Amino acid sequence: MPRTGFSMRTLIFIALMAGWTLPAHAAPLKAVATFSIVGDMVRQVGGDQVEVTVLVGPDGDVHTFEPGPQESQKLAQAQLVFEIGLHFEPWLAKMYAASGSSAKRVVLSEGIEPIESTPGQMQDVDPHIWLDVSNAMVMVEHIRDGLIEADAAHKAVYDANVQKYLQDLGRLDDQIIEALQNISDEGRKLVTSHDTFGYFARRYGFKVIGTALGSATTEAADPSAAAMAEIIDRIKAEHITVVFVENMHNPKFLQSIAADAHIKVAPALYTDALGPAGSPGESYLKMMEYNARILAENLS
């Protein structure tokens, strides 16, 4: 039976000879996320339509990050920049101006009630909003809105992606509450590396007793002997039995405090950064599930 019609190659040749314009494949949006947790969220919402560059990667410390020419070039090429705000990325404004970037900056903390830091700290508010999953849901809605504003042609894609992700986050919030339900009121006390668990404590019913650095930023000076002695006294007075280090912070001071107080140090929690691929903290969903499990195992 003879073949009929034209092959795709023939059709393309005819179209080019006739001067027709073939539909172009739209290049993905170029987006920069300031650190790994936001980068993961942008990828979940943006999918294949967004090319995401992360400035501070897994296990990296945003507080002490020093951008170089390579990071400035990435910022200059971006169409969107997703950031926390609340002075979490103190280097970003200067870097943005120096790079000559025209990217729209999307601040993910807008609309979230900030927690004021203890007077005398380096920051007036706590920027660690993502450790409350209900705040993370607000963040991903901001991400969706920023993507749609820059790329309205793929609005349906972003809407569908964010709807699924919001469902995942809702389940995560329920799972965390369930995982922590057997911790007594007396056991819901935290001592951590730096002041990062304020939003988590407010959402899930905990009290932050003390921190090794005594600050919401890791840029704070190493604790003095007097400050460490004060934390140890507080640990004993509150009957604390375990302290929690963080994945992106040197644990030596908290380990020293724990040794002097004769209590244990729990496995590191994921706070200001994801873990590397293959780790329990390789995504936001996984890191929060892991944190809840570690807290439950050590405080129940």
Residues of each domain in the chain carrying CATH 3.40.50.1980? 29-177, 181-299
CA dihedral sign of residues 273, 275, 162, 46: positive
Q: In the numeric block, which tokens belong to residue 96?
A: 């943005």
CA dihedral sign of residues 286, 289, 295, 297: negative
The pLDDT confidence band at residue 214, using thresholds 50, 70 and 90, is: low
CATH architecture type of domain 29-177: 3-Layer(aba) Sandwich (3.40)
Phi, psi angles (nearest 5°) of residue 107? -95, 115
Pairing of strands 50-56, 29-35: parallel
Q: In the numeric block, which tokens belong to residue 93?
A: 């404004």
Q: What is the CATH number of domain 181-299?
A: 3.40.50.1980
Per-residue pLDDT of 252-288, as tens digits, reads: 888 888 999 999 999 999 999 999 999 999 999 999 9
Report pLDDT for 200. 97
Alpha carbon separation from 270 to 9, 37, 67, 276, 290 (Å, rounded): 52, 10, 23, 11, 8
Per-residue pLDDT of 105-136, as tens digits, reads: 999 999 999 998 765 555 689 999 999 999 99
Per-residue pLDDT of 51-94, as tens digits, reads: 999 999 999 999 889 999 999 999 999 999 999 999 999 999 99
CA–CA dist 188, 241 (Å, integer)? 11
* pTM (two decimals): 0.86
Of 136, 175, 183, nearest to 40 by C-alpha is 136
Exposed, middle or buried, 102 (CB in 10 Å: 0-12/13-18/19+)? exposed
